[in-house]
Amino acid sequence: MKGSTCKYNSNFRELITAIDHEPAGTAFITDENEKLCGIVTDGDFRRMLLKGKSMDDHLSKSDFGDFVVAKKGESMEALLKKTSKKIRIIPIVDDEGFLVDYFVYRHQTRFTPIAEPTLDNTEYRYLMDAFTSTWISSRGKYIDQFEENFSNFIGCKYGVAVSNGTVAIHLALEALGVGEGDEVIIPDLTFAATINAVLLAKATPVLVDVDLESWTISPDEIEKAINPNTKAIIPVHVYGQACDMEGIMDIAKKHDLKVIEDCAEAHGAEFKGKRVGSFGDIATFSFFANKIITTGEGGMCMTNSAELDDRMRQMRDHGMSREKKYWHEMIGFNYRMTNLQAAIGCAQLEKIDQLLERNDNFEKQYKEALDELGLIQWQKEIEGRRKVVWLVACLSDHKEAISNALRENSIDVRPFFYCLSDMPIYSKYHFSNKNAKLLSEKGMNLPTVENVDYGLIKKILSQI
């Protein structure tokens, strides 16, 4: 303590020696009677040097103006109240004003987010290449390359890159001619983009329940919801799990329905050895920053039909004829992806296998650390399907306590989506949701990022 004090008229060499004395990086300044009259932090010192002070200059009163102080015996709560983002060091004085101690508030600076993009030198190089080429809008080599490489990865003939995963669903509906008067069956447990896209197309969504084991849309419920107005089904491969594509495609065939697979959360997931996105008439993907691979914002529609591919390309570009510039043959949109986004996508695609393996490994580490606590049930591996880990997903009867405890320790937790039909704006589209409700109440996602401290999480959760 003593070494970190210095006199009000010390020179800067003495000041920095005092600052350097204790890890708090602060000098406590005393007056001619040895009473505390100010503090100077290492940041204050830096600013003084920038103002032109030299080591031989002496401190003056203006160098250590007002400061926050506490009296000996004040409670921890009172001390904490005196701290803020800027004020982290509180000197403690006795009744006469002599320094007796100090309090340092060390707030947790390491926040563990739920997801973060993995961007490195390849993304940077491709992005800079696109940038310096000046092809920064929706033409350029990376668009073609990204469309070709990602559709090859999924196992589809054509990929149409678009500006995000929501417009991808809308474009798919428009290209299939789904609109007013048509009913579209979707799961009640999904992100709202799925239903919003249906409503944007002026069609009527029908919200059906999911399967308790896979958490994905239930073929039995689809069958029950079908009526003469039903035009399409949008199975969502939610939380990285593949839907029962055999059951769904059989139903679609039997009732002559279109199928749009929403694969936003399941890049690389498989059903019976085939990647999701290669079953329906059209599949849609999202490349938002928290997705398995990202382009910042971005999406893609995928199909094996040359005709649908052609229609979607035309529609994403204002409905303009692909042969005759400024000749519009249909009402279209500007749903194009930029070459800059596609450049990032190409780099991401080069490491998609590693990212999928890494995420599987994250889930394994959670299981190893937390299974013995018996608090959590993990997403199921289902025979014949390969689920991918988008965000590590689990269920728990103690969801609230787990979420609170982790958040208090700066570890993010994401609750599952609410059932769409529980929200007043969508409730009139309800068909069935018993399982979806249960899953929504118990489900949560855990951080799926590098450097998760699994040991710390175990310690935190063992105390709840």
Residue type, 133: S
Of 40 and 420, CB closest to ligand PLP: 420
Q: Residues near 192 by Cβ (< 8 Å), separated by ≥ 6?
A: 417, 420, 426
Nearer to ligand PLP, 154 or 405 (CB): 154
Q: How many Cβ atoms from other residues are within 10 Å of residue 267's Cβ?
A: 28
Give residue for tokens 């919003």: 196
Q: Which residue is nearest to ligand PLP (CB)?
A: 165
Asked if 445 touches ligand PLP (CB under 6 A), the answer is: no
Give me the sign of the Cα torsion angle 428, 429, 431, 433: negative
Which CB, 166 or 314, lies closer to ligand PLP? Answer: 166
- Binding to ligand PLP by residue 433, rule CB under 6 A? no
Residue 194 sits in the site that holds ligand PLP (CB under 6 A): yes
Euclidean distance between CA atoms 278 and 390, whole angstroms = 19
In the list 138, 190, 348, 448, the residue contacting ligand PLP (rule: CB under 6 A) is 190
Q: Closest distance between ligand PLP and the C-beta of residue 206, in Å?
A: 17
Q: Mask of contacts with ligand PLP, 290-329, x by CB under 6 A?
A: ---------x------------------------------
Angle between helices 193-200 and 165-175 (to 10 degrees): 40
User: Strand pairing partners for 160?
Assistant: 301
Segment near ligand PLP (CB under 6 A); pick from 145-153, 158-166, 275-283, 349-357 = 158-166
Residue 296 region, left (φ>0) first, then alpha (ψ -120 to 50), else beta? left
CA-to-CA distance for 103 and 85, rounded, in angstroms? Answer: 14
Binding flag, residue 165, ligand PLP (CB under 6 A): yes
DSSP 352: H
Residue 164 engages ligand PLP in binding (rule: CB under 6 A): yes
Q: Is 188 in the site for ligand PLP (CB under 6 A)?
A: no
Nearer to ligand PLP, 102 or 287 (CB): 287
Residue 221 is a binding residue for ligand PLP (CB under 6 A): no
Q: Are 205 and 198 in contact (CB under 8 A)?
A: yes
Binds ligand PLP (CB under 6 A): choice among 191, 279, 426, 429? 191
The correct pick among 184, 195, 236, 370 for binding ligand PLP (CB under 6 A) is 236
Q: Of the listed pieces 188-196, 203-211, 269-277, 401-409, which binds ligand PLP according to CB under 6 A?
A: 188-196
HSE of 436 in the Cβ direction (CA atoms, 13 Å)?
25
Integer Cα distance of 102 and 1 in angstroms: 9
List 53, 231, 258, 291, catalytic entry: 291
Least distance to ligand PLP, CB of residue 374, Å? 30
At its nearest, how many Å lie between ligand PLP and the CB of residue 167? Answer: 7
> Active site includes 7?
no
Nearer Cβ to ligand PLP (164/339): 164
The residue among 36 and 342 lying less far from ligand PLP, judged by its C-beta, is: 342
Beta bridge partners of 241: none
Long-range contacts of 359-366 (CB under 8 A, 24+ apart): 359/292, 359/388, 359/389, 359/390, 359/392, 359/448, 360/388, 360/389, 362/389, 362/392, 362/448, 362/449, 362/452, 363/389, 363/392, 363/448, 365/452, 365/454, 366/392, 366/394, 366/446, 366/452, 366/454, 366/457
4 vs 194, beta carbon nearer ligand PLP: 194
Stretch in the footprint of ligand PLP (CB under 6 A) among 16-24, 118-126, 164-172, 432-440 = 164-172
- In terms of CB distance, is 219 or 235 closer to ligand PLP? 235
- Asked if residue 166 binds ligand PLP (CB under 6 A), the reply is yes
Site for ligand PLP in 246-265 (CB under 6 A): 262, 264-265
Helices marked H in 83-239: 121-133, 141-154, 165-175, 193-200, 219-225
Which segment (70-78, 139-147, 160-168, 220-228) binds ligand PLP by CB under 6 A?
160-168
Other Cβ atoms closer than 10 A to 101 = 12
C-beta separation of 175 from 312 below 8 A: yes
Residue 180 is given by DSSP the state T
Site of interaction with ligand PLP (CB under 6 A): 164-166, 190-191, 193-194, 236, 262, 264-265, 286, 288, 299
Active-site amino acid positions: 291
